[in-house]
Amino acid sequence: MQALTVLTPSLWLSSFSSSQKDKLLRKKKKKKAQEHNRPQGVVDFLASPLLSAILTLSIPLLPVPASFSQPEYPKGSALFQKACIGCHDMGGNILQPGATLFMKDLQRNGLVTEEEIYNITYYGKGRMPGFGEKCTPRGQCTFGPRLEEEEIKQLAEFVKLQAERGWPNVETYGD
């Protein structure tokens, strides 16, 4: 009995000389390029599944656009770090537990709108010192540097936003 030889593509290709192999491979690539409507000579690995996998896996490594990673009020965050965090770290209140910056306490204390938050930040109330340039009486106002009206507006927007979000971590972004 004679052994049956299976003709595999590599066995079939080995029967040709190297110049014949090159000619066959070029012809095969040209036909493949025409089938896929791409010009001849385009590097084949560009269309490979391996490249697709690499690109897909590298997407999380790409930098996140600034508009997605930064909060809407980065200036308010920097001001909060500078003027408020000593007493209101993470929205709490180290001097008066019932006067936190969490939404339930803001609502209970009648500070629902940005304007109301602005007023208490500007003029102060109880143990909360006022930070406005024209804050009076002197004993109710901060002994530290005063804030401009625009800065207090930014703080009010920031505090309201953070209260609505449940006070996630407060960070500064390049300020």
Q: ∠ at Cα 69 (65, 74), nearest 5°?
A: 115
pTM score: 0.56
pLDDT of residue 139: 85
**pLDDT tens across 18-32, in order?**
777 777 778 777 776
All CATH 1.10.760.10 domain ranges of the chain, comma separated, are 71-165
**pLDDT tens across 104-126, in order?**
999 999 999 999 999 999 999 99
Pick the closest to residue 149 from 79, 81, 60, 62 (CA basis).
79
Query: Which residues are CB-neighbours of 151 under 8 A, at least 6 positions away?
Result: 79
* CATH class of segment(s) 71-165: mainly alpha
**pLDDT tens across 155-175, in order?**
999 999 999 999 876 554 444
For the chain, give the percent of residues with pLDDT over 70: 63
